[in-house]
A and B are shown apart, each in its own frame.
Chain A
Amino acid sequence: MTDTPMIRMAAVDKHFGELHVLKDINLEVERGQVVVVLGPSGSGKSTLCRTINRLEPVDSGTIELDGRALPAEGKALAGLRADVGMVFQSFNLFAHKTVLENVMLAPLKVRKQDKAAAEKNAVRLLERVGIANQKDKYPAQLSGGQQQRVAIARALAMDPKVMLFDEPTSALDPEMVQEVLDVMTGLAKDGMTMLVVTHEMGFARRAAHRVVFMADGEIVEDSTPDDFFTNPSSDRAKDFLGKILTH
Chain B
Amino acid sequence: MGPVNVLLDNIDLYARGFLGTIELFVVSAIGSLILGAILAAMRVSPVPILRAFGTVYVNILRNTPLTLVIFFFAFAYPRLEIYDLSYFTRACIGLILYTAAFVCEVIRSGVNTVPVGQAEASRALGFTFNQTLSQVVLPQAVRNVVPPLANIQIALLKNTTIAAGFSVTEAGGIYQALSERGANVFVGLLWVAVGFLILVVPLTLLQRNLDRRWSTAR
Contacts and interface: CB of A to CB of B under 8 A. Distances in A.
Interface of A: 53, 55, 73, 75, 78-84, 86, 88, 90-96, 105-106, 109-110, 138, 140-141, 151, 154-155, 158
A94 B120 contact: no
Contact of B120 (A82, A88, A93): A88
B interface, size bucket: 20 to 34
Interface in B118-151: 118, 120-128, 131, 135-136, 139-140, 143
B135 A86 contact: no
B125 A110 contact: yes
Nearest to A151: B121
A92 B118 contact: yes
Contacts of A110: 125-127, 131
Contacts of B218: 95, 140
Contact of B127 (A86, A90, A106, A151): A106
B131 A90 contact: no
Contact of A88 (B121, B139, B143): B121
Given A86-B124, A96-B140, 17 more contacts: A55-B124, A78-B126, A80-B126, A81-B125, A82-B125, A88-B117, A90-B117, A92-B115, A92-B117, A96-B139, A105-B125, A106-B125, A110-B125, A110-B126, A138-B217, A141-B216, A158-B126
A229 B139 CA distance: 47
A81 B120 CA distance: 11
Nearest to B215: A140
B140 A95 contact: yes
A105 B139 CA distance: 14
A147 to B, nearest CB: 12
Interface in B169-216: 214, 216
B127 to A, nearest CB: 6
Contacts of B120: 55, 88, 92
B176 to A, nearest CB: 47
Would you list the 3 A-B pairs with minimal beta carbon distance, nearest first?
Answer: A82-B126, A92-B121, A92-B117
Contacts of B126: 78-83, 106, 110, 158
A53 B120 CA distance: 11
Contact of B128 (A55, A78, A83, A158): A78
A138 B127 CA distance: 21
B128 A94 contact: no
B118 A95 contact: yes
Nearest to B46: A73
Of A86, A91, A106, most B-chain CB atoms within 10 Å: A106
A185 to B, nearest CB: 22
A106 B118 CA distance: 13
Given A92-B117, A95-B118, A81 B217 contact: no
A84 B124 contact: yes
Nearest to A75: B128
A151 B128 CA distance: 19
Of B123, B126, B214, B217, most A-chain CB atoms within 10 Å: B126
Contacts of B136: 94
Interface string B32-57: 00000000000000100000000000
A7 to B, nearest CB: 15
Contacts of A109: 127, 131, 135
A158 B121 contact: no
Contact of A53 (B46, B122, B124, B135): B124
Contacts of B135: 105, 109
Contacts of A158: 125-126
Contacts of A105: 125, 135
A132 B3 CA distance: 64
A94 B135 CA distance: 10
Contacts of A93: 121
A231 to B, nearest CB: 36
27 contacts: A55-B120, A55-B123, A55-B124, A73-B46, A75-B128, A78-B127, A80-B126, A81-B125, A82-B126, A84-B124, A88-B120, A88-B124, A92-B115, A92-B118, A94-B121, A94-B122, A95-B118, A96-B217, A105-B135, A106-B126, A109-B135, A110-B126, A110-B127, A140-B217, A154-B125, A158-B125, A158-B126
